């Protein structure tokens, strides 16, 4: 998890540095949009193939080689001559987008084998805490690193973080090497659904699981709205220093996220249970409502509280969602996580396109309100479905 946090720092650092570098190299906003589209498209494609790859190769080998590939492509960008710089940037977007998704699917689907079923909530919470801290550090230091030592140094740092993560994965004592056997995945899927893709068979076998993944995709669409709207809204608050509000908001969001992870860990130690499907639904409602309120024009103190609550709710939903998907059998689990990654990338990518167009005509509050309003509506339907499933289970 320490290695994952280090590589996450490099990822968030590069998210800023690479976007700036693409714009400075090409001088066109369209090129920046294409770079992001290729990155999201690679993640989408990787999600579709993740389950199949995990059925043929060990989770440990996939986590190792995805980090090595990302370090190698950053070295390619550093060494590329000016004439090949654009081609190197395309390679970076493809490899980082695809390998990042494969690493996350392999990590999340194999956590029960690493730490045991009873400690998966603790491990999920630990990984989310590390990533939240890395996000704050990466975003906060990106401007300083690029301004003081330049793009090359930022890319070297990113390459080094992927190398550190690869080393920690190589040293990881993994029971069975994280093996996935194709025949076992087929056996664990319900017999009546063997003609269906394993991911869909697994999701349809558990009541509400397919709707849960769909809600995650809609939530990703909502996330795209506040990510795109925050810089616009911040510029209206302080045109001279638009980065101040964005930085402060995400720092407070991360603090709320970390606080939620601590609470989840204590809850797990005390009860021996992980947050379930209902916690995911209620957390999504709270998170979506909080992000809408963040654009309502409240004062600094109220907005700070809203950011903290949004971060805490976001942390709760992620650990509840991940822990619930990890209750699937080992074979179908990897396919389900791959499908989930595909749905999330699709929701976020489509949302970025729609939101960017909408922000030219409507206010940030209106755009975020509609986007997260859809997530709220689906979350309510999901909670009704969960309550109905519980009532059926307890009926005589």
Residues 3, 50 within the same domain: yes
Residues of the chain with pLDDT under 70: 23, 27-33, 143, 174-208, 241-243, 331, 389-396
Whether 373 and 245 have beta carbons less than 8 Å apart is answered as: no
The model's pLDDT over 321-363, given as tens digits with 9 standing for 90+, comes to 888 888 877 767 877 888 888 888 888 888 877 887 888 788 8
Per the structure, the complete domain to which residue 149 belongs is given by: 1-180
HEC letters along 259-326: HHHHHHHHHHHHHCCCCCHHHHHHHHHHHHHHHHHCCCCCCHHHHHHHHHHHHHHHHHHHHHHHHHHC
How far apart, in Å, are the Cα atoms of 209 and each of 248, 254, 295, 338?
A: 35, 28, 32, 14
- Provide the pLDDT for residue 195: 39
- Provide the pLDDT for residue 190: 47
Residues 79, 148 within the same domain: yes
Task: State the CB neighbour count (10 A cutoff) for residue 145.
Answer: 18
Residues 273, 329 within the same domain: yes
pTM beyond 0.85, yes or no? no
Residues 137, 227 within the same domain: no
Residues 240, 328 within the same domain: yes
Whole-angstrom Cα distance, residue 293 to residue 310? 10
Number of structural domains the chain divides into: 2
The model's pLDDT over 187-224, given as tens digits with 9 standing for 90+, comes to 444 444 443 465 556 556 555 677 888 888 899 888 88
Residues 135, 258 within the same domain: no
Residues 286, 137 within the same domain: no
Last residue of a domain, one of 139, 156, 180: 180
Query: Looking at the domain assignment, is residue 188 inside a domain?
Result: no
- Provide the pLDDT for residue 48: 82
Going by C-alpha positions, the residue among 298, 260, 301, 297 that lies closest to residue 279 is 260
Query: Looking at the domain assignment, is residue 68 inside a domain?
Result: yes
Residues 205, 262 within the same domain: yes
- Provide the pLDDT for residue 198: 58
Residues 71, 207 within the same domain: no
Distant-in-sequence, close-in-space partners of 216: CB < 8 Å, separation ≥ 6: 321, 340, 343, 344, 347
Whole-angstrom Cα distance, residue 390 to residue 73? 49
Whole-angstrom Cα distance, residue 190 to residue 192? 6
Whole-angstrom Cα distance, residue 17 to residue 98? 19
- Provide the pLDDT for residue 184: 46
- Provide the pLDDT for residue 181: 46
Last residue of a domain, one of 115, 147, 180: 180
Which CATH number do you get for residue 88? 1.20.1250.20
Query: Looking at the domain assignment, is residue 368 inside a domain?
Result: yes
Query: Looking at the domain assignment, is residue 186 inside a domain?
Result: no
- Provide the pLDDT for residue 73: 93
């Amino acid at each position: 998890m320490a290695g994952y946090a280090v590589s996450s720092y490099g990822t968030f650092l590069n998210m800023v540095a690479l976007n700036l570098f693409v714009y400075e190299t090409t001088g066109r906003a369209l090129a920046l949009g294409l770079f992001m589209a290729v990155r999201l498209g690679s993640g989408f494609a990787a999600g579709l193939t993740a389950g199949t790859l995990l059925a043929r190769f060990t989770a440990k080998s996939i986590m190792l080689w995805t980090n090595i590939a990302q370090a190698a492509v950053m070295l390619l960008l550093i060494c590329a001559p000016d004439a090949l710089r654009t081609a190197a940037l395309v390679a970076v977007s493809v490899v980082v987008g695809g390998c990042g998704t494969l690493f996350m699917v392999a990590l999340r689907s194999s956590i029960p084998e690493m730490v045991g079923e009873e400690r998966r909530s603790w491990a999920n919470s630990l990984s989310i805490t590390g990533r939240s801290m890395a996000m704050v550090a990466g975003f906060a230091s990106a401007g300083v690193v690029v301004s003081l030592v330049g793009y090359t140094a930022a890319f070297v740092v990113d390459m080094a973080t992927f190398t550190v993560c690869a080393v920690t994965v190589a040293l990881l004592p993994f029971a069975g090497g994280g093996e996935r056997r194709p025949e076992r995945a087929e056996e664990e899927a319900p017999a009546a659904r063997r003609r269906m893709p394993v991911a869909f068979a697994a999701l349809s076998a558990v009541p509400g699981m397919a709707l849960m993944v769909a809600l995650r995709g809609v939530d990703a669409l909502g996330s795209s709205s506040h990510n795109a709207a925050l810089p616009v809204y911040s510029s209206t608050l302080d045109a001279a220093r638009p980065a101040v509000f964005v930085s402060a908001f995400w720092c407070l969001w991360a603090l709320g996220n970390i606080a939620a992870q601590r609470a989840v860990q204590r809850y797990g130690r005390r009860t021996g249970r992980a947050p379930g499907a209902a916690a995911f639904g209620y957390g999504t409602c709270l998170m979506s409502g909080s992000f809408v309120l963040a654009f309502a024009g409240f004062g600094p103190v109220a907005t700070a509280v809203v950011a903290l609550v949004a971060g805490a709710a976001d942390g709760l939903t992620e650990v509840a969602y991940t822990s619930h998907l990890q209750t699937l059998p080992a074979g179908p689990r990897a396919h389900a996580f791959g499908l989930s990654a595909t749905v999330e990338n699709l929701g976020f990518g489509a949302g970025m396109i729609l939101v960017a167009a909408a922000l030219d005509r409507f206010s940030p509050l209106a755009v975020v309100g509609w986007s997260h309003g859809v997530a709220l509506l689906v979350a309510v339907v999901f909670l009704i479905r969960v309550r109905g499933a519980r009532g059926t289970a307890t009926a005589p």
